[in-house]
Chains A and B, each alone.
Chain A
């Protein structure tokens, strides 16, 4: 069942509709409710490889729905520690639970200070309102 619209308070956001949950020197990344809703039911997730280095504001993977494909933009730089295999097998997990089981990758932060540039929930909701 598709999730209803929400933007958790404890996440940091990127204007390209990505979120980050920072946990010490690691972070879990995913796409927001708005992003999955715009795409529709996801049918394919092209993840990076574990060990890859990803750069803030650059694409690290692709998510694809029946209708469209979209780059996933990294909100933070770092090294990929883990790819969510459940989403590789069942991409619709992102639609069902974009902030929980539908996370995309876990990274080791390259530069923790980058987090300061991300949006808080109020600022991100403003981005959504203007989209």
Chain B
């Protein structure tokens, strides 16, 4: 069935740069410009910029906004004040992960949620159904563009001072107003710039002018996997839970939210399997869905540009989930050796 793909405010910029455009979560997005590997290395060595305007933004406002979000999100929002942000999960009644997202506390009674593009509608419907008088939820995604500027020189190139991770502030880049979020999905320093949609092309131009190279979704995936950051839809889903995924740290056991009791019970009895990161010891690229011998499955896999090896994540039985454990992955009928590593898979030596 033919379906019209959404376009970000930067679509024309991508086409002009010769990007290869692909459908992703209902959007027409750049997967690469020069190539996944050079883009990836630019982010590890210097700075790169990603158009992530396809991500969803919700505003939740009102005297009972906290109450709505405390009852639906896994992390404790009372830990953050205005100007701070928090990684958290939207969980279903079984403790499964509807989405992972970042909540930004704009002020006492107002929050911004930045959610995955593929889950925007599901998330919104879930929250809307649970809205209570005094909490007003709005999907404001179409009003904004979002640029992730990542890399060891990202802040220097943007002329921004260092700041604590998971904080944010109003700011300007070359006179263009934006919200500067100290967040990212690459394992590098940097920030994400939330900008009014109509200002997004000018901001993109400024960021490129300042020396960040354009990077596509291909490099975004290899970077996040090297950093062992899970991708919703691959490594975490409605059928997987935070405890098995190693995300118990962002689930507050002392508060009530959807699935909290199920997660407490699971934690008490211990999960059957765990999400692990691994590096291939033989030449092969693991891919999503490949069986791991002994019971398990690859949930994400790629070629690591920094290690020049196959890397991945997958669920394995708890008994064989410790770092240094050898795994055998069924790569289209051939058994290939891999080894479980501590997260992250790749970290630059300082």
Contacts and interface: CB of A to CB of B under 8 A. Distances in A.
Partners in one complex: yes
A40 B39 CA distance: 13
Interface stretch (B99-107, B190-198, B229-237, B283-291): B283-291
Contacts, number: 37
B36 A44 contact: no
B303 A40 contact: no
A67 B36 contact: yes
Interface in A44-81: 44, 46, 62, 64-67, 69
Given A66-B302, A66-B303, A41 B285 contact: no
B224 to A, nearest CB: 13
B94 to A, nearest CB: 33
Given A44-B284, A44-B303, A67 B35 contact: no
A66 B284 contact: no
A43 interface: yes
9 contacts: A40-B32, A40-B218, A43-B303, A46-B284, A62-B332, A65-B36, A66-B37, A67-B218, A67-B302
B303 A2 contact: no
Closest 3 CB pairs of A and B: A43-B303, A66-B36, A41-B37
Contacts of B36: 40-41, 65-67
Contact of A67 (B31, B310, B332): B31
Given A40-B35, A41-B36, A44-B303, A69 B218 contact: no
Nearest to B331: A46
A70 B338 CA distance: 22
Given A2-B35, A43-B303, A66 B222 contact: yes
Nearest to B22: A67
How many B residues touch the partner, as a band? 10 to 19
Nearest to B40: A66
A43 B35 contact: no
A43 B303 CA distance: 7
A101 to B, nearest CB: 19
Contacts of A44: 283-285, 303, 310
Contacts of A2: 35
A65 B219 CA distance: 12
B283 A66 contact: no
Given A62-B332, A64-B285, 17 more contacts: A2-B35, A40-B218, A41-B35, A41-B36, A41-B37, A43-B285, A43-B303, A44-B285, A46-B284, A65-B36, A66-B222, A66-B303, A67-B31, A67-B218, A67-B302, A69-B287, A88-B283
Interface in B293-312: 302-303, 305, 310
Interface in B269-288: 283-285, 287
A121 B285 CA distance: 33
Interface string B207-229: 00000000000100010000000
A45 to B, nearest CB: 9
Contacts of A65: 36, 303
A30 B85 CA distance: 51
A64 B283 CA distance: 11
A46 B332 CA distance: 11
B39 to A, nearest CB: 10
B336 to A, nearest CB: 10
A97 to B, nearest CB: 16
A44 B332 CA distance: 14
Contacts of B32: 40
B285 A69 contact: yes
